[in-house]
Amino acid sequence: MSVSLSRPGAGRYLKVLFSLAIPVMLEQLSQIFLGTVDTYFAGRISDDAIAAINASNMYMNLFSGAFASLSVGILVLMSQSLGRGDTQRANRVVRQAILMGLGVGAAFGVILLALGRQMLAISGCEGDLLDLALTYYRVVCVPCVFLCLTLLLSGGLKAAQNTKASMRAALAANLVNAVLDAAFVHMGLGVFGLGLATTLSRALNVALLLQVYRRGCGPLKLSGHGWKVDLPLMAEIVRYSLPVMFTQIFTRFTLVVNGSLILHLGSSYYVANSIATQLINYNCLPNPGFEAATAALVGSSVGAGDWRNARQYARYAALSSMTCMTLFSIILSVFSLPLAGLFTETELVKTLVSQVMLFMVFFEWSSGLSHVTTSAVQGTGDTKYPLYVTFASDVLMRLVAGYFFAYIVGWKLVGIWAGAVLCFMFRSLLLGRRFFSVCRKKQAELSQPAPAE
C-alpha cells in the first residue's frame, strides 16, 4: 500500500480526491452539528425532551441504514455509467432512484406510523415520556421519505463527482433547522416544534437537491419525461444495495453485542466507552469523505475500463485517509482529559477515556484503511464480498478477539478496542487483496492483443 508522493501524477490524484472528500466531510460535520443543536434546544425544554428525541432517533438511525444502502447501489451504477460515457443510463438511474425513494420512504412511513407506540415502548419509554416521544416520533420518523430522498439524491451527485452541491444543500438545511429550533421553542411548541423543524429542514434539503438536478449537474439533468417505472433497472439497484443493507444491519447488531460486553465490565467502563465513541466520531470525519470519493472515482474508472486509474485512486485514498485520521486522533488524544471533563467529573471515567484515545492514536489508521478498501471493492460492482468479510471480521475479531483481550488478557476497555482494531485490519487485508487482485487481472486482460480474425 506504500505510495511515493513524488511519483508523477501524484498531485493530480490527491487534488481530485480531496476536492471530492472535503465537501463530504463538511456535510458530515454539519450532520453532527445538527444533532448537537437539537439536543441543546431539547435541554432548554426538559431532560425528558432529550430522552424523547434520543428514543425516536434510535429507530430513525436504524432505518436510515436501509436508505443509505440504496444510495450505495445508485452511486455504483451511476459512476460506472458515467465512466462509460453513458449519460442516458445515468439519468435513468436518477429517475428510478427518485421513484424508489418515494415508494420505500412511504412504505417505511406507514410501518412507523402503525407501530410507533409499540416501538417506543420497547425502547423503554413509558407514561408521560412515551407520549412526549410519540409526539416527536410522529413528526420526524413518519415522514422519513424526505431523509430517504436526500440520501439517494446525494448519492447521485457523488457519483457525478459534485460533492459541493450536496454539501451546500446540507449546510443550508441544517442552518434553517437551527433557526427554526430556536423560533419554535421560543413559541412554546416544545418537542413538536423541534420535530417540525427537523422535517421542514429535510424537505428543504430535498428541494435544493432537486433544483440542482433540474438546472443540470454536469451530465445529470432531470426533465419531464422518462418517469415510467423500469423494473429491471430497479432490480439491478436492489441487487447492488441488498448486500450493503445486510452489512450495515449486521454491523449494528455486532455493536449491540459489543456494548453488552462492555456493560459487563462495569458501568464506569460503559460510560467511558460512550464518551470515547463520541470523541472518536470526530476522528472518523475523513471516513465518509474518502469513502464517497473512492467509490465514485473507482466506479468511474471501472466504467471507463481504466483499472490502473482505479488502483491509483484507491491507493492515494487509503494513504490520505490513514494520514488524516492519525492526525485527528493525535489532536483529540492531547485534549482527551479536558474533553472528557465536559461529559463527566468522575476521574476513573476520564482516565479510561484518555487510555482509549491514546491507544487509538497508534491504530486509528486501520479504520480509515478498512473503509477505503470496502468502498474500492464496492466501486467495482462487488457488494457481496464485503458482506462476507464483514461477517467474518466482526465475529472473529471484534467479538471473539475483543472478549479475549478484555476478559482473558485483562485489558478491559482497551481490549475491546483492540478487537475492533483487529477487525479493521482483517477486513482491510482481505478487501485490499481482493481489490488489487481484480484490478491486476482486468488490466492484464485488457493488455492482451485482440485475437486475429
Segment 37-46, tens digit of pLDDT? 777 787 778 7
Q: What is the pLDDT of residues 224-281, one digit of tens each?
A: 777 888 889 888 888 888 898 888 878 878 887 888 888 889 888 888 887 888 788 8
Q: What does the alpha-carbon distance between residue 58 and residue 349 come to, in Å, rounded to a whole number? A: 24
Same domain, 200 and 302: no
Which residues lie closer than 8 Å to 303 by C-beta, 6 or more apart? Answer: 79, 80, 81, 82, 83, 84, 86
- Give 400-443 as a DSSP string: IIHHIIIIIS--THHHHHHHHHHHHHHHHHHHHHHHHHHHHHHH
Task: Identify the residue whose cell numbers are 460533492.
Answer: 163
At 123 the pLDDT is: 64
Cβ atoms of 369 and 424 closer than 8 Å: yes
Looking at the domain assignment, is residue 7 inside a domain?
A: no
200, 269: one domain: no
- Is there a single domain that holds both residue 218 and residue 294? no
Residue 105's CB: how many other CB atoms inside 10 A? 22
- Indicate whether 203 and 289 sit together in one domain: no
Q: Quote the domain boundaries for residue 355.
A: 239-446
9 part of a folded domain: no
- Look at residue 6 and tell me if it is in a domain: no
Instruction: Decide: 361 and 326 in contact? Cβ < 8 Å.
Output: yes
Instruction: Specify if 53 maps to a domain.
Output: yes
Q: How high does pLDDT run on average in the chain? A: 86
- Are residue 216 and residue 249 in the same domain, yes or no? no
If asked whether residues 403 and 272 sit together in one domain, one would say: yes
Residue 10: inside a domain: no
Q: Are residues 188 and 301 in the same domain?
A: no
- DSSP H or E stretch at residue 289: helix 286-303
Query: Given a cut of 90, is residue 385 above it in pLDDT?
Result: yes
Question: Considering the domain boundaries, does residue 156 fall inside one?
Answer: yes
pLDDT value for 121: 80
Residue 451's pLDDT band, with cuts at 50, 70 and 90, is low
Residue 318 and residue 304: Cα distance in Å, rounded? 22
- Record the cell numbers describing residue 103, joined without a space: 415508494
**Residues 220 and 364 both lie in one domain:** no
Please determine, for residue 56, whether its predicted confidence score (pLDDT) is greater than 80.
no
Which of 229, 249, 266 is the endpoint of a domain? 229
pLDDT at residue 112 greater than cutoff 60: yes
Tell me, yes or no, whether 73 and 143 share the same domain.
Answer: yes
Domain end, chosen from 211, 229, 247, is at 229
The neighbouring-strand residues paired with 217 are 220
Q: In what helix (H) or strand (E) does residue 259 lie, and over which residues does it extend?
A: helix 231-263
Which residue type, as a one-letter code, is found at position 361?
V
Instruction: Give percent of the chain above pLDDT 70.
Output: 95
Q: Do residue 180 and residue 281 come from a single domain? A: no
Q: Give 114: exposed, middle or buried? Use CB within 10 Å, 0-12, 13-18, 19+.
A: exposed
pLDDT tens, residue by residue, 277-306: 878 888 888 888 999 899 999 999 999 889
Overall domain count for the chain: 2
Mean pLDDT, to the nearest integer, of 183-188? 90
Flag whether 1 is in a domain. no
- Answer whether residue 419 is part of any domain: yes
- Clarify whether residues 202 and 273 are in a common domain: no
Residue at a domain's end among 229, 264, 289: 229
Same domain, 212 and 252: no
Closest CA to 352 of 283, 266, 284: 266
